[in-house]
Amino acid sequence: MSRRVGVGIIGCGNISPAYLQSAVAFPILKIRALADTDPVAARARGEQFSVPVASVEDLLADPAIEIVLNLTTPQAHVEVGLKAVMAGKHVYSEKPLGIDTVEARQLLECAEARKRRVGCAPASFLADVHQTCRRMIDQGAIGAPIGGTAFFMCPGHERWHPSPAFYYLRGGGPMLDMGPYYITVLVNLLGPVARVAAMAIQPHATRTIGNSPLRGTVIAVEVPTHVAGTLHFHCGAVVTLTMSFDVPKHRHTPLEIYGTEGSLLVPDPDLFDGEIQHATLGGEWIAVPNEHGADEQSSRAIGLADMAQAIRARRPHLASGALAFHVLEVIEAFIRSSDSGHFIGIESRPMRPEALPVNGQH
C-alpha cells in the first residue's frame, strides 16, 4: 500500500479550490479524481487543477481512492457519505455532518459496522492559534473557566455566494452553517456541552441573490436566520452564542472566554490564524505571540490530512465523526429549545479532542 492516501473529491463547487490548493501542503494526500453531479462543474475544476474527472460511480469504484472528500451541499452530506462507506471508502465531509442527528447517526453506525472512518470539518481547532488558546486554558492562564461569548453575525451569504439557495433551505441557516466552527472550537477549549437554551427567529420569508450569475433571483427561506442562546458545558462554564444572517453590522469579537483569573480573546473560529489577546485579573489586554502562522490556503485540508496520517499510523483522527455528531446535536438543540421553550439536555459526550504538541501535528 502506498504511503500516500488516495482521495477522491465529490462536490466541485465554491469550497473545492480551497481544498485542492491546501492538499498540496500535505504530502500524505494524493487527490486522484474529482466528481460532481454537475459535469460542467467537475470538468472546470479538473482543468483548473489538472486532476482527472470521473463520474460519482467510477470514483467510488476506484480502488486507489481510500478517502472520499465530501464537498457537496449539506443536504447531500449523508447521502454521499453513505454511498462512500458502502463502497468501502473512509469519508471526510464538509460541515455539518448531516442536517439532523437522525441521518448523521445512520452514517456513523454504517461506517462503524464497516470499520470505515468518518471525519468532518471544521478542523480550524487544529490550527496553531486555537491550540495555543487550548494550552493556555489547560495551563491555567484564565483560572477556572466561567463563561464566554461567541458571535457570528452578517447580513447573509446571498450577497456574495454564487448559488446561495442551500443556505436558506432545511439544513441551512446560520446555526448549521457557522455554528460548527464556533461550537467545535468551544468543545476543544472547554470540553463537551451538557445542555442548551435558545431562541430563534426568521425575520424574512425570502432573500434576493446579490452576486452573478443569479443576481436578483428571489429565494425561499425555510429556516430561522437569527439564533441566540446559551451553552452550559460539563466543566461548568456558560457561553452565550448568537449566529445570524440578519445583522447589518456589529462590534463584537468572535469568541471570548472568561475565567476566575483572566480573560482570553480567541481568534475567529472560522479562520486558521489571528491574534490572541490575554488579560489577567485587573490587567490590560496583552497580545500573545503566535508561534506558527498559518493561512487558509495551506490549512483548509488539515483535518483531512490528519485523518490520512491516522489511517497509516492506525491511531484515532482528531476531526472525528463523534465530535461532529456532538456539535450537530448541540446545533439541533438550539432549534429544539426555541420550538419547545425548554432547556435541551445533550446526550452525546465525546472525549475532548487530544491537544496537539507545541510544534503542530502528530
**In the complex, which residues of this chain contact ligand NAD (CB under 6 A)?**
10-15, 36-38, 41, 56, 71-74, 76, 79-80, 94-95, 163, 177
For ligand NAD, the closer CB: 15 or 281: 15
Ranked by CB distance to ligand NAD, the top (closest) residue is 13
User: In whole angstroms, how close is the CB of 285 to ligand NAD at the nearest point?
Assistant: 30
For ligand NAD, the closer CB: 182 or 233: 182
User: In whole angstroms, how close is the CB of 51 to ligand NAD at the nearest point?
Assistant: 15
2: cell is 502506498
**Do residues 6 and 65 touch, judged by C-beta distance below 8 A?**
yes
**Do residues 269 and 181 touch, judged by C-beta distance below 8 A?**
yes
Q: How far apart are CA 96 and CA 103, in angstroms?
A: 11
For ligand NAD, the closer CB: 172 or 353: 172
Closest CA to 171 of 254, 56, 85, 94: 94
User: In whole angstroms, how close is the CB of 226 to ligand NAD at the nearest point?
Assistant: 19
Q: Give Cα 82 distance to the centre of its chain.
A: 19
User: In whole angstroms, how close is the CB of 74 to ligand NAD at the nearest point?
Assistant: 5
Q: How far apart are CA 150 and CA 276, in angstroms?
A: 15
- The amino acid occupying position 345 is G
User: In whole angstroms, how close is the CB of 79 to ligand NAD at the nearest point?
Assistant: 6
User: In whole angstroms, how close is the CB of 164 to ligand NAD at the nearest point?
Assistant: 8
User: In whole angstroms, how close is the CB of 306 to ligand NAD at the nearest point?
Assistant: 17
Q: How far apart are CA 232 and CA 26, in angstroms?
A: 37
Closest CA to 148 of 199, 175, 183: 183
For ligand NAD, the closer CB: 74 or 173: 74
User: In whole angstroms, how close is the CB of 61 to ligand NAD at the nearest point?
Assistant: 15
Q: Give Cα 3 distance to the centre of its chain.
A: 27
For ligand NAD, the closer CB: 20 or 71: 71
DSSP letters, 277-339, are EEEETT---EEEP-SS---HHHHTTHHHHHHHHHHHHTS--SSBHHHHHHHHHHHHHHHHHHH
DSSP-derived 3-state class of residue 73: coil
User: In whole angstroms, how close is the CB of 175 to ligand NAD at the nearest point?
Assistant: 12
For ligand NAD, the closer CB: 6 or 173: 173
For ligand NAD, the closer CB: 141 or 304: 304
For ligand NAD, the closer CB: 73 or 320: 73
Cis peptide bond prior to 192, omega within 30° of 0 = no
Closest CA to 332 of 318, 350, 319, 345: 345
User: Cβ contacts of residue 306 below 8 Å, gap of 6+?
Assistant: 119, 123, 126, 317, 318, 319, 361, 362
For ligand NAD, the closer CB: 177 or 306: 177
Beta strand 226-233 pairing with 238-244: antiparallel
61: cell is 469504484
For ligand NAD, the closer CB: 100 or 177: 177
User: In whole angstroms, how close is the CB of 7 to ligand NAD at the nearest point?
Assistant: 15
